Amino acid sequence: PCAPARVCAPDAARTLVFSDDPEDPAVSGVLYADTLRKGAAYRIYVYHANGGTAPRKFSVVVLNQGAAMASVRIERSAVGTPGADYLGIGKDVARRYLAPPSPRTVTVPPGARIVLDPALDAATAQRLELVHAIYDVTPDADLKLSVVTVGPGVDAAAATAGLPLLPFDGKHARGTFPDADLAVFVDPLAGPAGSKLGRLRLGADLVDPHLIGRDATTGNAISLVGNFGVVYTMHPAAGMVAAVAPRGGAWAGASEQATVVTALPGASSFVDADAVRLPTVVPGGALRLMTAGSSSLPVDLVVTSAP
């Protein structure tokens, strides 16, 4: 049965800037672009593979169109090593993202474009290799953000103004989605301790409806199937234990509780027949959960009252 739960987006929920279409471009161009508003909190999600034969990189470029110096506070960041193990890279990036952060600030001179993160800009993908990164950022001025792909020897910031917008192919998603943080309050289960099981099915448009956003390059509405990039903060009732169990195929992710980060699963990935217990949440605490890119969904959060 479905466990009784209450799901909401907290007031501080970030807006997700999501770039995954076209997922595997073979030519240079702009993959997604939007304006970051002053003081707003964003999560930037970059997920692209090299669909060409020559090496390629994927960069986040920020433009300051104002007359004063601007800055971007990077509160969290995670950049994966390019490779062909898409699910493994997704799990590694989720784990790095949830790890204790090392915030930093980058400045953007007036009228200038800069690369947001030189580490991502330096990541070169060979044919069919994935480049994946996640950033939590807050700008102190309105700034234009572009996710671009160019050859490894090209200055991405300098080239952006002359790059074409690559067409949306509809196979994946790109867009800007509000409310990309969800708080999940799991209520006590009925019955004696240890005798009842409940589940919350995530990524299936049930407990957590697919985020609805807008492709800023076209103005079209778009749905984020699977809610990749969403951080779930679980608040279980006292004495409750939980496990995750895939229901759509191979799944991976990461969890964090009291700064302790756990890669899920400990091996490479797991499938429908498997389940793994999540770390026990301390009284009054919470556990954060993120699905890895390339995971198959849905996934069940199975809960029970500890005997």
Go through the domains of the chain in sequence order and give each one's CATH number: 5-12+180-305 (no CATH), 15-153+171-177 (2.60.120)
Confidence grade of residue 1 (pLDDT, cut at 50, 70, 90): very low
User: What is the distance, to the nearest Å, from the Cα of residue 32 to the centroid of all Cα atoms in its chain?
Assistant: 15
- pLDDT recorded at residue 32: 99
The torsion of the CA quartet 42, 47, 52, 53, rounded to 10 degrees, works out to: 120
- pLDDT recorded at residue 184: 93
- pLDDT recorded at residue 238: 79
Note the pTM of the prediction, 2 decimals: 0.95
Residue of higher predicted confidence among 218 and 246: 218
The pLDDT of residue 121 is above 80: yes
| CA 17 vs CA 61, 96, 272: distances in Å | 13, 19, 30
Residue of higher predicted confidence among 304 and 172: 172
Q: Rounded to an integer, what distance in angstroms lies between the CA atom of residue 304 and that of residue 307?
A: 9
Q: Rounded to an integer, what distance in angstroms lies between the CA atom of residue 55 and that of residue 219?
A: 32
Percent of the chain with pLDDT over 90: 77
Q: Rounded to an integer, what distance in angstroms lies between the CA atom of residue 109 and that of residue 115?
A: 12
- Measure the N-to-C terminal CA separation of the chain; round to a whole number of Å: 19
Average pLDDT over residues 256-261: 93
Residues in CB range of 5: below 8 A, 6 or more apart: 184, 185, 186, 187, 200, 207
- 16: enclosing H helix or E strand: strand 15-19
The torsion of the CA quartet 65, 25, 134, 173, rounded to 10 degrees, works out to: 90
Q: In this predicted model, what pLDDT tens digit does every residue of 34-86 receive, in sequence order? A: 999 999 999 999 999 999 999 999 999 999 999 999 999 999 999 999 999 99
Do 130 and 136 meet the contact criterion of CB atoms below 8 Å apart?
A: no
When mean pLDDT is compared across 42-56, 113-127, 236-250, the lowest value belongs to 236-250
The pLDDT of residue 140 is above 60: yes
When mean pLDDT is compared across 170-174, 195-199, 285-289, the lowest value belongs to 195-199
- 99: enclosing H helix or E strand: none
When mean pLDDT is compared across 20-29, 126-135, 143-152, 297-306, the lowest value belongs to 297-306
Sort strands 113-115 and 56-63 into parallel, antiparallel or unpaired: antiparallel
Please choose, from the candidates 41, 224, 70, the residue with its C-alpha nearest in 3D space to the C-alpha of residue 136. 41
The torsion of the CA quartet 20, 24, 25, 26, rounded to 10 degrees, works out to: 170
The pLDDT of residue 192 is above 90: no
Q: Which amino acid is at 119?
A: A
User: What is the distance, to the nearest Å, from the Cα of residue 191 to the centroid of all Cα atoms in its chain?
Assistant: 37
- 97: enclosing H helix or E strand: helix 86-98
Average pLDDT over residues 167-171: 96
